[in-house]
């Protein structure tokens, strides 16, 4: 499975520069679309052409449960993961409604739920992870399998013609697993990067931090082996998203990071294959403390700062229309050859 690392190539700097040159010739102040310009140019570099195509979009949404919820680290039980999966399957969830607005397809995959929802693609080896405060969350081979699921899902989507992929997840307790993985990979105290997730109380946050500390001390994950970290204190959804990033990079396809769970999966993928970084597109800044720290570690700059913490890939979906509008300007707006310099100077003076 990890042979895929050798398939990942650097993005094409010439395509990046050609895209930026075109932007600089559009009849507008240079750089006036801010971060949207270099992000679109990075997509050109990923696809190896200044004539990039992001017209066929999808979201890979992975559902999994986390045994650590037994420690009172979440405000709801694992039955909510099932309810979310059912809602997505009925195409009635928030992210499905948002995806419809940008003509993005949603693919739901069960990579480790306690329950099984009829009609949902199932690729799990376990019905949820074990409680990481009593032992490893999963076996090493289970983590490898989940990574492989993400790789396979991307390859199938690319074969179907999708050229922009968003990552999302659903699973009660997964911000606890995420904070544990981030703590190990960043070498940071759990107190610093652990947040309240979806509305946890102050008392719940204390339990959450204690669970993470216990899990790390007990399992001793190897920070130099991201798969070991995912297996011991991670989650199946994190591992599958990690595989999605690996697969997208190997296929030269841009992949959107969503919130903190996607972010820590991106960090793990980059530790496995540093060139994955060339294919990551940030979307929004999650409200979770670890999100900012991971973005800084990866030198990525999320465009949207809206305090979102819904999960499911909603932030990544929200980034899609911004990229579409940026591309529309890039491809169709007038350039300096279409108008006189005098007319341009006069119009700019009125802004």
Q: What would the 3-class secondary structure string for the chain be?
A: CHHHHHHCCCCCHHHHHHHHHHHHHECCCCCCCCCHHHHHHHHHHHHCCCCCCCCCEEEEEEEECCHHHHHCCCCCCCHHHHHHHHHHHCCCCHHHHHHHHCCEEEEEEEEECCCCCCCCEECCCCCCCCCCCCCCCCCHHHHHHHHHHHHHHHHHHHHCCCCEEEEEEECCCHHHHHHHHHHHHHCCCHHHHCCCCCCCCHHHHHHHHHHHHHHHHHHCCCCCCHHHHHHHHCCHHHHHHHHHHHHHHHCCCCEECCCHHHHHHHHHHHHHCHHHHHHEECCECCCCHHHHHHHHHCCCCCCECCCCCCCCCHHHHHHHHHHHHHHHHHHHCCECCCCCHHHHHHHHHCC
Catalytic residue among 37, 39, 169, 312: 312
Look up 312 and say whether it is catalytic: yes
Q: Which residues are catalytic?
A: 312
């Amino acid at each position: 499975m990890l042979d895929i690392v050798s398939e990942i190539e650097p993005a094409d700097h010439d395509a990046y520069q050609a895209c930026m040159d075109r932007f600089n010739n559009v009849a507008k102040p240079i750089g006036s679309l801010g971060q949207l310009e270099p992000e679109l140019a990075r997509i050109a570099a990923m696809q190896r052409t200044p004539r990039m195509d992001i017209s066929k979009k999808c979201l890979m949404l992975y559902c999994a449960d986390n045994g650590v919820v037994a420690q009172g680290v979440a405000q709801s039980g694992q039955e909510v993961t099932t309810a979310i999966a059912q809602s997505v399957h009925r195409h009635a969830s928030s992210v499905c409604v948002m995806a419809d607005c940008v003509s993005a397809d949603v693919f739901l995959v069960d990579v480790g739920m306690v329950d099984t929802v009829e009609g949902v693609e199932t690729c799990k080896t376990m019905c949820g992870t074990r409680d990481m405060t009593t032992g490893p969350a999963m076996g090493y081979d289970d983590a490898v399998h989940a990574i492989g699921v993400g790789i396979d899902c991307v390859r199938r989507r690319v074969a179907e013609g999708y050229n922009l992929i968003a990552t999302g997840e659903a699973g009660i307790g997964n911000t606890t697993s995420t904070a544990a993985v981030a703590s190990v990979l960043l070498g940071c105290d759990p107190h610093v990067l652990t947040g309240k997730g979806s509305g946890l109380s102050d008392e719940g946050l204390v339990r959450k931090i204690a669970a993470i500390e216990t899990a790390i001390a007990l399992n001793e994950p190897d920070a130099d082996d991201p798969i070991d970290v995912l297996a011991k204190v991670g989650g199946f959804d994190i591992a599958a998203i990690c595989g999605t990033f690996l697969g997208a990079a190997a296929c030269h396809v841009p992949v959107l990071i969503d919130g903190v769970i996607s972010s820590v999966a991106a960090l793990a993928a980059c530790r496995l294959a540093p060139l994955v970084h060339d294919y990551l597109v940030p979307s929004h800044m999650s409200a979770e403390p670890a999100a900012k720290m991971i973005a800084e570690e990866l030198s990525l700059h999320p465009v949207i700062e809206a305090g979102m913490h819904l999960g499911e890939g909603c932030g990544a979906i929200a980034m899609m229309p911004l990229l579409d509008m940026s591309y529309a300007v890039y491809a169709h707006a007038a350039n300096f050859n279409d108008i006189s310099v005098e007319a341009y100077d006069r119009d700019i003076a009125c802004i």
